[in-house]
Structures are given as C-alpha cells and as structure tokens.
Structure 1
C-alpha cells in the first residue's frame, strides 16, 4: 500500500510540473486555430488527471494514517 502511495506521489509531482501556466498568454493575442484548440483539450485532460491523482493521494494518505 505504501509503494502505491509513493508511485501516486511521484506521478502527481510530474503531472503538476507538466502544466505550464504561461501558455495562457497566447489567448490574449487572439489567434484561435485548431492547434490551440487541441492544446486546450489536452490541458483540460491533464488537469482532470491531476485532480484524480490528488483525490487518490488524499485517500491513500488517509488510509495510511489509520
């Protein structure tokens, strides 16, 4: 169980580091094309996977604390 917690922790750190908040600056220039649309979809998927990882981390931490 503890090894699974370590794996989730490392994956969560990697997922958080993959997210780049500076990519949002392209929206201010107003060029909207298919590439940016695909980028937004992949960012949304990355955010969803990150939230699932956070929830799994909290559950595993709670179980290990008992």
Structure 2
C-alpha cells in the first residue's frame, strides 16, 4: 500500500513531498519507509505519552 501511495504522489504534479512521523522504536516501519526512499530528517523527543512512558517520533520525508 505504501508503494501505491508513493507512485500516486509521484504522478501528481501538485505533490512535492511526503512526510511521516513514526514512533522511534518501530524498526520495522522505519525500514519499510526507508525502502521506499524516505529519509530521516529529525527526531521529536518524548512528544507522545503511551503505556505510562514518553515516546519519541522519527520524522521521515520523501521528495517526489
């Protein structure tokens, strides 16, 4: 499904960039997005509170 989204974005002249925020310890999701060309552009430290602890988010971007 991510591949179809990337393909649709590349086919649309009005789309320049795709952005995603992924909970930092989610290695599988990070690897999947990197497989499609997303790059790490930063980390938002301890911005989400879930399961009694703070989580950081990794910010990824793909220029299409």
Q: TM-score range by the shorter chain?
A: under 0.3
Comparing both chains, which one has the higher relative contact order based on Cα–Cα distances under 8 Å and sequence gaps of 6 or more? 1
Greater helix proportion: 1
Structure with the greater alpha carbon radius of gyration: 1
Query: What is the TM-score with the length of structure 1 in the denominator?
Result: 0.27
Greater strand proportion: 2
